[in-house]
Amino acid sequence: MNMPGKKNNKKAKKSLYATKQNKDSRLNSSDIRKIRQIHDYILKNLEKPLSPLIELAHTFGTNEYKVKQGFKQLYGQTVFRFLIDERLRKASVLVQHSDIPLKEVAHITGFISVPHFSKAFKNKYGYTPRDLRKQSYKSSL
């Protein structure tokens, strides 16, 4: 038996929840400033392990939810995805334009191990750091 009152009540609750979510996800200028500070902090500390988001949020005077949602709104990706992408971007530059050993490149860019670094690099670019280095050497001759 379908009771119309319950169905309408569920719709009202869903609508209220959606409205609350939209309201909570709006960023004010202070939130935006804090998230940009977190963004800059990550860029300056690529070689270091990322603190848990809750610690990062507290350090910059906000909460974990605002960091997660706000970062995604401002930069179109999660904090973790941004960190990995930036580490790989920096690694790509180092691989192409330096003679730094790949093990050191992995360390400089915050990767724990060369295999993990190589796998992440290949997943992003479609080739390994070693392949890129070989290609860069060939191009420079």
Domain boundaries of the chain, sorted by first residue: 27-76, 83-140
Does position 6 have pLDDT exceeding 80, yes or no? no
Does position 12 have pLDDT exceeding 90, yes or no? no
Q: Identify the pLDDT of residue 131.
A: 97
Q: How far apart are CA 47 and CA 108, in angstroms?
A: 5
Q: Identify the pLDDT of residue 19.
A: 43
Cβ atoms of residues 24 and 65 within 8 Å: yes
pLDDT digit string (tens) for 121-137?
999 999 999 999 999 88
Cβ atoms of residues 72 and 115 within 8 Å: no
Does position 30 have pLDDT exceeding 80, yes or no? yes
Cβ neighbours for 53, distance < 8 A, ≥ 6 positions apart: 64, 67, 68, 79
Does position 25 have pLDDT exceeding 90, yes or no? no
The mean pLDDT value of the chain amounts to 88
pLDDT digit string (tens) for 50-89?
999 999 999 999 999 999 999 999 999 999 999 999 999 9
First-to-final CA distance of the chain: 79
CATH domain 83-140 topology: Arc Repressor Mutant, subunit A (1.10.10)
Chain center to CA of 10:
35
pLDDT band for position 4 (cuts 50, 70, 90): low
Cβ atoms of residues 40 and 86 within 8 Å: no
Cβ atoms of residues 121 and 88 within 8 Å: yes
pLDDT band for position 8 (cuts 50, 70, 90): low
* Predicted TM-score (pTM) above 0.85: no
Q: How far apart are CA 27 and CA 32, in angstroms?
A: 6
